[in-house]
Amino acid sequence: MTTTASTTVPAYGAEEVQDAGYVDVLIVGAGVSGIGAAHHLRDQFPDRTFVILDAQDNRGGTWWTHRYPGVRSDSDLFTYGYRFKPWRGASIAAGEEILGYLDEVIDEDGLGQYIRCRHRVTAASWSTEDRRWTVEVTRGDTGRQLRFSTGFLWMCQGYYNHAKPYRPQWEGMDRFQGTVVHPQRWPEDLDLAGKRVVVIGSGATAATLIPAIAGKADHVTMLQRSPSYYFAPPTTNELAVTLRGLDVPEEWTHEILRRQYISQYDWLARTSMEAPDELHTFLIESVRPLLPEGFDVERHFTPRYRPWQQRIAIVPDGDLFEVLREGKASIVTDTIEAFTEHGIKVSSGEEIPADIVVTATGFNLSVFGDVAFTVDGEPVDFTRRVTWRGIMISGLPNMAYTFGYFRYSWTLRVDLVSDLVGRLLALMRDKGATMVVPTLRPEDADMQLRPWSDPENFNAGYVMRSQHILYKQGDREPWSHMLEHEQEREILPEVDLDDGTLVYR
């Protein structure tokens, strides 16, 4: 078996730690969240010093990590784009276009000078006496150890480990003679011509990759254990075409389209809760006519979970269904028994021949970028901590995190959380406070702690695999999270930051 190469970090030995200085705000992560956080910070507090650290070789987070053929958004870019920066392209965008959009934000805001790539944050220690975080960093290129300090830590690290994708081990993998690839580490020189490719997985990644490679490979088989929901909207939004044809300012088009998409997401999120059976039927029936005559929709396209308990995979213009109709791709729904020398054997006894196997099997979830946190010398055990509105953590001073939506575009929450953090920093300044800590009130002492995600609500595999290492939520506000945008866009701008759950010193 050949697997794709991993990056090597030179060992630097017992090098002296280099003091990298103090910044007012230290942002971890240069993806959609970190770049958005930096924009809002600069906008509201032009005098504050800050830096953005990212472990990867380049900015972009998810869109830098995932560069497999066909990688694209599965949200519309009017809501996946920021509130403050109009999206000028088609509704669904390729990964490269999203990187281009982020680069424009970086250029327009002059953020480039503050982004330090190949800087992996390994530890963060809060000192109440010094009122600051000390942040330990390892450089990815030289292995050198750096030490930053900061008054406020803004974690924008995303939710999964970018360096180690999730790949289950199957029996016989070592005897497989072909190549095994993970979409998170796609080799640039992978030659697909004339190859039989098996893509293991049924989520958004499989759905975008398969149409992109189906014309190049000899044949592509999507091998799924169980089906996912799909929806096939057009890539181009007619309303955007009309507005652009009328020469309406791009800012207006952006705002109008945002409202259109947000109202659609509202409907989808509400219907998934209130009328899941109707939504289930709607989704299945919308893909049926796109499939070849007599296709076994019940077996291959009828999920066992409720819509939106996991993300709905978007198939713009139905391109996945097109390659199925053309016979360039096919689907097997079964469990893998073992890899063989030349393919994969499934429970039915069938052996699917393969030269290349793509494991589109998802992520290893990572809690706050695997940073080891301590507060006044005490290691932080996140499993015993509670979220404050999905933005801060109980007992962790001067630390906020940006985590987006699963059911709406992630970025809608980036703008909302940034507004709240801005208000928080302004309130601290007005109060003359140097420390803010989410703290359970006496009336919260007996609060029932609940898992990070209620499986009835959202149960994607990568979340369920990692619930045991995640922080908790309570049974009441503000100690809960996973509210939808429909509620949060009303609640967050009005949150009383002086309600006794945030303690200022």
Ligand X SMILES: Cc1cc2nc3c(=O)[nH]c(=O)nc-3n(C[C@H](O)[C@H](O)[C@H](O)COP(=O)(O)OP(=O)(O)OC[C@H]3O[C@@H](n4cnc5c(N)ncnc54)[C@H](O)[C@@H]3O)c2cc1C
Residues that bind ligand X (CB under 6 A): 28-34, 53-56, 61-62, 66, 71, 73-75, 80, 120-121, 156-158, 162, 205, 369-371, 404, 409-410
Q: How far is the CB of 117 from ligand X (least distance, A)?
A: 9
Q: How far is the CB of 39 from ligand X (least distance, A)?
A: 13
Taking the CA atoms of the chain, what radius of gyration do you get in angstroms? 24
- Select 235 or 439, whichever has its Cβ closest to ligand X: 235
Q: How far is the CB of 165 from ligand X (least distance, A)?
A: 10
Helix H or strand E segment including 154: strand 145-155
Q: How far is the CB of 171 from ligand X (least distance, A)?
A: 28
- Which residue, among 68, 2, 61, 55, has the nearest Cα to 31 in the 3D structure? 61
219 and 100 Cβ atoms separated by less than 8 Å: no
Burial class (CB in 10 A: 0-12, 13-18, 19+), 456: exposed
Q: What angle do CA 467, 468, 473 make, to 5 degrees?
A: 60
Q: For residue 298, give both structure tokens.
A: 């019940």
Closest-by-Cβ residue to ligand X is 158
Q: Give the whole-angstrom CA distance, residue 472 versus residue 481.
A: 9
Q: How far is the CB of 3 from ligand X (least distance, A)?
A: 20
- Select 82 or 388, whichever has its Cβ closest to ligand X: 82
Q: How far is the CB of 174 from ligand X (least distance, A)?
A: 28
Helix H or strand E segment including 222: strand 219-224
Q: Give the whole-angstrom CA distance, residue 259 versus residue 238.
A: 15
- Select 167 or 345, whichever has its Cβ closest to ligand X: 167
- Select 148 or 176, whichever has its Cβ closest to ligand X: 148
Residue 231: φ, ψ to 5°: -140, 140
Q: How far is the CB of 368 from ligand X (least distance, A)?
A: 8
Q: For residue 392, give both structure tokens.
A: 């801060």
Angle between helices 250-274 and 276-287 (to 10 degrees): 120
Q: How far is the CB of 415 from ligand X (least distance, A)?
A: 13
- Select 148 or 339, whichever has its Cβ closest to ligand X: 148
- Select 204 or 352, whichever has its Cβ closest to ligand X: 204
Taking the CA atoms of 436, 424, 80 and 62 in sequence, report the sign of the dihedral they define: negative
Q: Give the whole-angstrom CA distance, residue 259 versus residue 222.
A: 35
- Select 158 or 390, whichever has its Cβ closest to ligand X: 158
Q: Give the whole-angstrom CA distance, residue 496 versus residue 360.
A: 43
- Select 121 or 268, whichever has its Cβ closest to ligand X: 121
Q: How far is the CB of 80 from ligand X (least distance, A)?
A: 5
162 vs 123, 138, 231, 416, CA distance in Å? 17, 16, 27, 25
Q: For residue 182, give both structure tokens.
A: 């993970």
Letter for the amino acid at 276? P
Q: How far is the CB of 146 from ligand X (least distance, A)?
A: 12
User: Collapsing DSSP states into helix, strand and coil, what is residue 189?
Assistant: coil
Q: How far is the CB of 182 from ligand X (least distance, A)?
A: 12
Look-up of token digits 């090597």: 8
- Chain-centre distance for alpha carbon 102: 15
- Select 231 or 295, whichever has its Cβ closest to ligand X: 231
- Select 122 or 127, whichever has its Cβ closest to ligand X: 122
Residue by residue, what is the 3-state secondary structure of 402-441? Answer: CCCCCCCCHHHHHHHHHHHHHHHHHHHHHHCCCCEEECCC
- Select 265 or 388, whichever has its Cβ closest to ligand X: 265
Q: How far is the CB of 66 from ligand X (least distance, A)?
A: 4
Q: How far is the CB of 410 from ligand X (least distance, A)?
A: 3
436: CB partners within 8 A, 6+ apart: 397, 398, 424, 428, 502, 503, 504, 505
Q: For residue 443, give both structure tokens.
A: 């009336």
- Select 62 or 221, whichever has its Cβ closest to ligand X: 62
- Select 87 or 339, whichever has its Cβ closest to ligand X: 87
